[in-house]
A and B are shown apart, each in its own frame.
Chain A
Amino acid sequence: MTLDTLSGWARRLQAGEISSRELTELYLDRIERLDPDINSFVTVTREQALAAADAADQRLARGERAPLLGLPVAQKDIFCTRGVRTSCGSRMLDAFVAPYDASVVERMNAAGAVMLGKTNMDEFAMGSSNETSHYGPVLNPWDPERVPGGSSGGSAAAVAARLVPAATGTDTGGSIRQPAAFCGVTGLKPTYGRVSRYGMIAFASSLDQGGPMAASAEDCALMLNAMAGFDSRDSTSLERPDEDFTAGLDRDLKGLRIGLPREYFGDGLHADVRRAVQDALAVLRERGAEPVEISLPNSDLSVPAYYVVAPAECSSNLARYDGVRFGHRCNDPRDLMDLYTRSRAEGFGAEVKRRIMIGTYVLSAGYYDAYYLKAQKVRRLIAEDFRRAFEQVDVIAGPTTPELPFRLGEKSADPVRMYLSDIYTIAANLAGLPGLSMPAGTIGSLPVGLQLIGNYFDEGRLLNVAHQFQQETGWHQRMPAAFA
Chain B
Amino acid sequence: MEWETVIGLEVHAQLNTVSKIFSGAATAYGAEPNRQACAVDLGLPGVLPVLNEAVVRKAVMLGLALDAQIAPRSVFARKNYFYPDLPKGYQISQFELPIVARGHLEIELDDGSRKRIGVTRAHLEEDAGKSVHEGFGTMTGIDLNRAGTPLVEIVSEPELGSAREAVAYMKKLHALVRYLDICDGNMQEGSFRCDANVSVRPVGQSSFGIRTEIKNLNSFRFVERAINFEVERQIDLIESGGTVVQETRLFDPDRDETRPMRSKEEANDYRYFPDPDLLPVAVHAEDIEAIRAGMPELPDAKRERFARDYGLSPYDAGTLTATRELADYYEALVAACGAPKLAANWMMGDFTAALNRSELEVARSPVTPAALAQLLTRIRDETISGKIAKEVFDAMWAGEGDADAIIAGRGLKQITDTGAIDRIIDDVIAANPVQLEQYRAGKDKLLGFFVGQVMKKTQGKANPAQVNERLRARLSGD
Chain B interface size band reads 20 to 34
Interface string of A303-318 (1 = CB under 8 A from B): 0000000001101101
Find chain B residues with CB under 8 A from A360 CB: 271
CB nearest neighbor in A for B138: A335
B87 touches A368 (CB 8 A): no
Find chain A residues with CB under 8 A from B276 CB: 204-206, 236, 313
Interface string of B267-308 (1 = CB under 8 A from A): 001011100111100000000000000000000000000000
Partner of A325, one of B50, B87, B278: B87
Interface string of B41-81 (1 = CB under 8 A from A): 01111111111000000000000000000000000001010
Find chain A residues with CB under 8 A from B272 CB: 363
Does A482 sit within 8 A of B, measured CB to CB?
A: no
If A206-B276, A235-B277, A319-B90 touch, whether A93 touches B84 (CB-CB below 8 Å) is: no
Does A418 sit within 8 A of B, measured CB to CB?
A: no
Interface string of B229-271 (1 = CB under 8 A from A): 0000000000000000000000000000000000000000101
Does B315 sit within 8 A of A, measured CB to CB?
A: no
Find chain B residues with CB under 8 A from A327 CB: 45
Chain A interface size band reads 35 or more
Does A80 sit within 8 A of B, measured CB to CB?
A: yes
Interface string of A232-245 (1 = CB under 8 A from B): 11111000000000
Does B429 sit within 8 A of A, measured CB to CB?
A: no
What's the Cα separation between A312 and B273 when bound, in Å? 9
CB nearest neighbor in A for B144: A325
A320 touches B87 (CB 8 A): yes
Shortest CB–CB separation between residue A132 and chain B, in angstroms? 17
Residue among B47, B49, B78, B88 having the largest count of chain A Cβ atoms under 10 Å: B47
If A365-B269, A368-B273 touch, whether A198 touches B45 (CB-CB below 8 Å) is: no
B279 touches A325 (CB 8 A): no
B271 touches A200 (CB 8 A): no
Does B475 sit within 8 A of A, measured CB to CB?
A: no
Does A457 sit within 8 A of B, measured CB to CB?
A: no
Does B142 sit within 8 A of A, measured CB to CB?
A: yes
Does B39 sit within 8 A of A, measured CB to CB?
A: yes
A319 touches B88 (CB 8 A): yes
What's the Cα separation between A79 and B45 when bound, in Å? 9
B273 touches A98 (CB 8 A): no
B273 touches A316 (CB 8 A): yes
B279 touches A198 (CB 8 A): no
CB nearest neighbor in A for B39: A100
Does B33 sit within 8 A of A, measured CB to CB?
A: no
Residue among A96, A99, A320 having the largest count of chain B Cβ atoms under 10 Å: A320
Find chain B residues with CB under 8 A from A197 CB: 48
What's the Cα separation between A313 and B80 when bound, in Å? 11
B39 touches A236 (CB 8 A): no
Does B314 sit within 8 A of A, measured CB to CB?
A: no
Does B3 sit within 8 A of A, measured CB to CB?
A: no
A201 touches B45 (CB 8 A): yes
Partner of A205, one of B50, B271, B277: B277
Does B82 sit within 8 A of A, measured CB to CB?
A: yes
A99 touches B44 (CB 8 A): yes
Find chain A residues with CB under 8 A from B202 CB: none
Partner of B89, one of A198, A234, A322, A368: A322
Q: A233-B48, A316-B78, A364-B269 are in contact. List 10 more A-B contacts (CB 8 A).
A: A80-B45, A86-B46, A99-B44, A102-B46, A199-B47, A200-B46, A234-B48, A320-B89, A326-B44, A372-B273
**The 5 nearest A-B residue pairs measured at CB:** A319-B89, A206-B276, A363-B271, A205-B276, A199-B46
Mark A residues whose CB is within 8 Å of B: 79-80, 86, 88, 93, 96, 98-100, 102, 197-202, 204-206, 232-236, 312-313, 315-316, 318-320, 322, 324-327, 336, 340, 360, 363-365, 368, 372
